[in-house]
Structures are given as C-alpha cells and as structure tokens.
Amino acid sequence: MPVLNDEIPDDDDFDAGRSRGEFSGVTPEDFMRGGEGGNPPGWLDRGDIERARRQLPIAYVEVVPVRVDEMGAVSQAGTLLCVGEDGNIGRTLITGRVLYHETIREALARNISKDLGELALPMLPTSPQPFTVAEFFPTPGVSEFYDPRQHAIALCYVVPVAGDCKPQDETLDVEWVDPRGDMLETFIGQMPNGHGSILRQALSWAGAL
C-alpha cells in the first residue's frame, strides 16, 4: 500500500528558509490576511511543526470536491492521485492544515487551489458546520482514522467545484467517480487510513449513495 502525500511531512507545513528564531518575533498583526508573497504567513519550519505534532492535535480541513447538477445533487466526487514519500502512487482527498491566523474558509480555498488549481471555482460552504469531524491518531487502531505523523482533527466539508480542475504540485491527477457507479467501492478501497470512509460519509450526507 502506498504512503500517501497526506501522511508524509508536507512541504506546505514548514518553511525551510525561515528559522524558528525569526518566527518567534512575529506579532499577530503579521499574520493578518493579505500577507506578502512567498510562503503564506503561518508556515512553520520543520523543527517547529515536528515539535507541535508531538505536543498537541493539529487542526486540519478535509475536502471532498464534487460536481453537482443544476439541482444541486452530486453527480461526481473528486479524488487525487498522488506520489507518496516511498514513490508509490496513492489516492486521497484534499487535506491540509489550518495555519496560524488563517480562517477555515481561507484554509479551504488555499488547499483546494493548491490541489485543483486556480480555475476550479469552488463554492465554499455557507456554514462553518462540517458534515463530520475526523480524528486521526498516530497510534494504529484508536480509530479508523490513522496518521503516523500526528494527532489531527479534520473538519470535513463537501465543496462543489464548477471550473477546470488541474492537478498541481505533487498531485498527478484528479479522478472523478460516479457515486452510484461500480467504481466507487474500488476508489474507496484505494484510500487508506480512513480517507475512503470520509468520502463515503460525504456522499451519504449528500444523499448521493
């Protein structure tokens, strides 16, 4: 089974060019929205993110991108094919950390844009109420959600996307599946560590199964 990109240290989670010492002097105001170019404010260097991951739960968003018909019903759900740390290819969803002083909506928009590109045209959720909260633990067996890197608390949302989705960065491809088609169970079976369960729960909540 491949190691998926959301189970390895994520390049987005640290900024190798910024030392922790420099970071410590940053004031809340530096993290206001609209920060200057380069890495977004809130990124941590590798030492800081690794320490945090041993010390407290990390807040995540997880997104099931969907195509909807003109009545709002889900016609397709999107999954990502990614290369894991071990060089194998795996299937996953859009997932990423909420950065310091970033709103949930900003985290959703940033992570969708990172994986699907700038032209995906997501309809971000009207309410902050997630359809579920998935708790990933670094110890296998505590829950169906497992993440060897960390204890993560993932707020899960279904997000309709109306535009063109182009794989970005380490995402090799965006593959869509019909919720009522034969391939759904195959896709879910290829999504380890609980992400397949989140996909199934999203489609269940949407009334699409």
Nearer to its own copies by Cβ, of 8 and 104: the residue is: 104
Number of residues that bind its own copies (CB under 8 A): 68
Q: Which of 172, 188, 149, 146 has the alpha carbon at shortest distance from 83?
A: 172
16 binds its own copies (CB under 8 A): no
- Asked whether the beta carbons of 43 and 143 are under 8 A apart, the reply is no
In whole angstroms, the minimum distance from the beta carbon of 52 to its own copies comes to 6
Under the binding rule (CB under 8 A), the answer on residue 82 touching its own copies is: no
* 99 interacts with its own copies by CB under 8 A: yes
Shorter beta-carbon distance to its own copies: residue 28 or 87: 28
Can you tell me the distance from the alpha carbon of 49 to that of 116, in angstroms, rounded to the nearest whole number?
25
Helices (H) and strands (E) in the chain, counts: 5, 7
User: CB of residue 97 vs its own copies: minimum separation in angstroms?
Assistant: 7
How many Å apart are CA 32 and CA 50, to the nearest integer?
A: 24
Asked if residues 52 and 42 have their Cβ atoms less than 8 Å apart, the reply is no
CA distance 207 to 201: 10
The two tokens of residue 20 are 């922790």
Residue number with CB closer to its own copies (143 or 186): 143
Residues that bind its own copies (CB under 8 A): 23-24, 26, 28-29, 31-32, 42, 44, 48, 51-52, 54-59, 66, 68, 71-74, 97-106, 108-109, 123-135, 137-139, 142-144, 151, 153, 155, 158, 160, 197, 200-201, 204-207, 209
